[in-house]
A and B are shown apart, each in its own frame.
Chain A
Amino acid sequence: SAVISQKPSRDICQRGTSLTIQCQVDSQVTMMFWYRQQPGQSLTLIATANQGSEATYESGFVIDKFPISRPNLTFSTLTVSNMSPEDSSIYLCSVEDSGLREAFFGQGTRLTVV
């Protein structure tokens, strides 16, 4: 199994500012995933981050709003840029095990934009 450390665990931010969320994995993984979970909703994939290449974004998400870095095989960051109250959500990073039979999640970052 993989252990994922995600920080910050929560933050309250002013609108118009940006927040960078960090995700550290205790083993090397090819792909890391960033999800958003809005209040009372299920998880929606924002993007897939591969090391050494640009992230692949899902429909409705763009790089200018959610820039992602993946400098090595154990670390990734997601930035929520120019925040508005609509960005208030839980953001989670995830990795899959090598056999692709399980996905592991970080503890999530609970973001509130005021």
Chain B
Amino acid sequence: DQQVKQNSPSLSVQEGRISILNCDYTNSMFDYFLWYKKYPAEGPTFLISISSIKDKNEDGRFTVFLNKSAKHLSLHIVPSQPGDSAVYFCAASANRAGGADGLTFGKGTHLIIQP
């Protein structure tokens, strides 16, 4: 059973517009969420994160929104630029005693920015 779901395998957005990438989770123990971006032939790179005690975190053109009651988070990119074309992974973690566990990743959404 997939605990982190990215239901859109791909998303096409026009340059300059807003890109909204969605992520849903099922495990209520998750308390930290991260977005990673991946270009072809490269490893993922960290983009932005949010703790469950917040509902919004902003970093430049990137904003992540968290709706705990709906178990839903979204990544907004405004304005979208050609260099944003990549695969975006949503990831979540649960702070267990001992704190030694990894991330649970979604399957990824391929964002394509069209000129």
Q: Do A and B come from one complex?
A: no
